[in-house]
Structure 1
């Protein structure tokens, strides 16, 4: 997700007298739209999506606000370590957008750990994950020079598998089968589920994410043509994933719709198309990507998540593996295929902005670029899971961080003053 080459100068962005007829003004307006749309996703979309738990809504919204606010500040520093000039960090809307996007990584991890990681553990994990995530992003975009404009590899897949790595570290010391059976039978996990009103508020998050996802995927595109393709392809993929999710949900849920699938799988098309949304995939290709994402996500929620919890003891409260992890891998695989198909007669001068390593003094071939896309995907998953597991074990150090007891999990009473009628 490299910085946009046609971004107006910092001076022009700060100039109150910038002419409305100038190209810089048009770019500035376009950046403002992208920034605000992504900003809404982070603070409203992610926040409300995680309010589905019956007694954890305060934490879902409040900790989402706290974590995002912390990570935005920390990410500005971490991301600019690789790019600052003369030791000076200049903050623009573009750098804020990049920090917002990085905060999505941490919030995805938050979704995996929702309810069973304490607030102090989450804050520690957010600081560590931001450092590792920014390093991985730099490796993907600047070292490997992989195409990932929507962040399906470096943001979605990374956040999901970092969270699962932490969850792996948090497994019960008992045998996984015994722990899973106990987690179903004890009174505590009865809070690990929705009620009617909490599912309704979670749908607010889904709708906001659905509406603004094209802004997220197109946020770091570098030309009007790329921006248009990213918006159109994301929109079509989301629409296809939504229809598919309803159909598959009714098939696996005895002719009824499952709200878990509606809240989450309908968004999987936005993740799945992220790495390729600015490429020439065509309307039919975007629809096909969305259909595949909807099928993958619903089946993951229905079959895979329960098996991982039962046989591996790895909890995933929001099912981020099904919304962000597997669709992120799916998008990474598609980026390999479309990189190998990329030709100059198709992309023209855009080839150098989308695949910068394929032009210049020592250009890569399309097949070699595909191998670098594969390397970016593998490195991201390994670094995320291993980094998450290590960070998870560190966050369990006795007396350093508060650990939730079984009767404190999925319960707002631990951190919040609650109304008397709750």
Structure 2
């Protein structure tokens, strides 16, 4: 039986209906917060604020711009490595991110920003940053399923992914009072295990029929490298965007900057050692070089010291690169997990490393390092958790990591079961990784004329000799 992949009705219906639903829900629930509506003038007077420059917009907007670029340009272009799926990589990234940020503003708003007086969600610039963070988890999950699912399935994946993210974020950050400014646990660990579990449920035993399409060409790898560079440059903003104003935010940028730099050198070294004749593998360079940013997420605002940041980047670069060399082929052959972008290597393992580093660093915190007030401010030892010690905080940090993993695994299994229903117009095994199924594709170049880079194509992942990718 031939699958029907025609999306003429299903995709427009989903997009129109869900966008209309967003308009209605925003009309009922969403309002500007006090710093983004006309009452800011009254707020300034009441709080003796003398200038508009103290509006949170001026503290956060630069970071918001950087994070926004990462979501739409960095993530999108990093997934353009497949020779016949660049439209799908960057285009569907655009689609699900645009839908996801709207749903995230609602879901996160109901948990974090609901005004109990008028039951409205009050949003400002920090809400926009958090919505981008939420969407990042879904884009990570998309990396595991890249080229194997329909756009309607991706919308469903995002709908449930944002919902699960909002719940696990609330549990980890608000109930457990865990610190995770850069989202090693909340974003990367959850998103990776969510996507990997969905990919496991949707396992395609005959995917080798699309083997000839799961390759890159010279110019597609160059485009993917553009995504890597955008992500690498802006990652300090990602990890520091919602950190505390002042020293916490400053420290998060420094620590991430150093960790990223260390992961680059480590990746180049191991990539050369792992290949014949010492040549470099672009798969490693595009992806494992970013592992330091992922692993530094949780502890980014802690007093981990500059050399500690280099150690984190060094270790995460090793783990991520070796994951591409050894683990990804094993996962597909033995565990039946077809991880198109290798998100296990760039998000799951470095995310777990980040959670562990955060737990250890928190448990070792002391007044001699942070100062009394600094320790209280850093870990929020106030209110309900005013009696919490640093060692207890370390235990809660570890608990947060397990919550993120549990939500990813259980949620991915449930959503994978829904996506496995034969109603979503997903491609056949022989048509995966091909834009022609869902896009109007320009005519092919004349095969008699050598196209830029066509002489240097390589596989991306079906046998132990073949490279597996990863996505940020």
The answer to whether the superposition gives a TM-score over 0.5 is yes
Paired residues of 1:351 and 1:359 also in contact (CA < 8 A): no
CA RMSD in angstroms comes to 2.0
In structure 1, what is the Cα distance between the partners aligned to 2:385 and 2:297? 29
Alignment length (residue pairs): 403
1:202 corresponds to 2:224: yes
Instruction: Say which of 440, 443, 446 aligns to 1:420.
Output: 443
2:187 aligned residue: 155
Aligned to 1:244: 266
**1:228 equivalenced with 2:254 (yes/no):** no
Greater Rg, structure 1 or structure 2? 2
Contact (CA 8 Å) 1:145, 1:357: kept in 2 or not?
A: no
Residues 3-402 of structure 1: pairs in structure 2 closer than 5 A: 10-14=33-37, 22=51, 24-25=53-54, 27-83=56-112, 84-85=114-115, 86-172=118-204, 179=205, 183-184=207-208, 186=209, 188-254=210-276, 255-348=278-371, 349-357=373-381, 362-399=386-423, 401-402=424-425
TM-score with structure 2 setting the length: 0.82
Provide, for residues 395-415 of structure 1, a one-character-per-residue CA deviation record: whole Å limited to 9, x for no partner: 11123x223201220000111
The whole-number CA distance in structure 2 between the counterparts of 1:404 and 1:419 is 20
Q: Is the 8 A contact 1:358 1:369 kept in 2?
A: no
Q: Deviations over 1:109-159 (max 9, x none)?
A: 011110111111111111001100110000110011111110010001110
User: Does structure 2 conserve the Cα–Cα contact (< 8 Å) formed by 1:116 and 1:404?
Assistant: yes
* 1:167, distance to aligned residue in structure 2 (A): 0.7
> By how many angstroms is 1:318 displaced?
0.7
CA shift digits 1:54-82 (9 cap, x unpaired): 10000111101000000000000000111
TM-aligned CA deviation for residue 358 of structure 1: 6.7
Please say if residues 35 and 124 of structure 2, whose CA atoms lie closer than 8 Å, have aligned partners that are also in contact. no
Post-superposition CA distance 1:26-61 (Å, at most 9, x none): 753230111001000000000000000010000111
Q: Check whether the contact 1:167–1:389 (CA below 8 A) recurs between aligned residues.
A: no
Instruction: Give the Cα separation in 1 of the matches to 2:350 and 2:178.
Output: 18
Deviation, structure 1 residue 353: 3.1
How much does 1:355 deviate? 1.3
- Return 273-282 or 28-37, whichever deviates more: 28-37
CA distance in 1, matches of 2:127, 2:214: 37
TM-score by length of 1: 0.91
- Larger displacement relative to structure 2 (358-367 or 198-207): 358-367
Tell me the residue number matched to 1:403: 426
Deviation at 1:193, TM superposition (A): 1.8
Q: Do the aligned partners of residues 304 and 362 (structure 1) sit closer, same or farther apart at CA in structure 2, a change above 3 Å counting? A: same
Task: Please list every run of 5 or more consecutive structure 1 residues that lacks an aligned counterpart in the other structure.
Answer: 1-8, 173-178
The answer to whether the 8 Å contact 1:396/1:403 transfers is no
- For 2:385 and 2:87, the matched residues in 1 are separated by 55
Unaligned runs of 5+ in 2: 1-31, 446-472
* Post-superposition offset of 1:223: 2.2
| Separation in 1, partners of 2:377, 2:220 | 44
- Retained in 1: the 8 A contact 2:35–2:56? no
Larger mean Cα displacement after TM superposition, 21-30 or 367-376: 21-30
Per-residue CA distance 1:259-308 (angstroms, 9 max, x = gap): 00000000000001110010101110000000001000000011000100
Cα distance, 1:103 vs. partner?
A: 0.7
Give how far 1:361 is off: 6.6
Quote the Cα distance in structure 2 between the aligned partners of 1:352 and 1:204. 41
Contact 2:331 2:337 in 1 (8 A): yes
The CA deviation at 1:189 is 1.7
- The Cα shift of 1:14 comes to 4.5
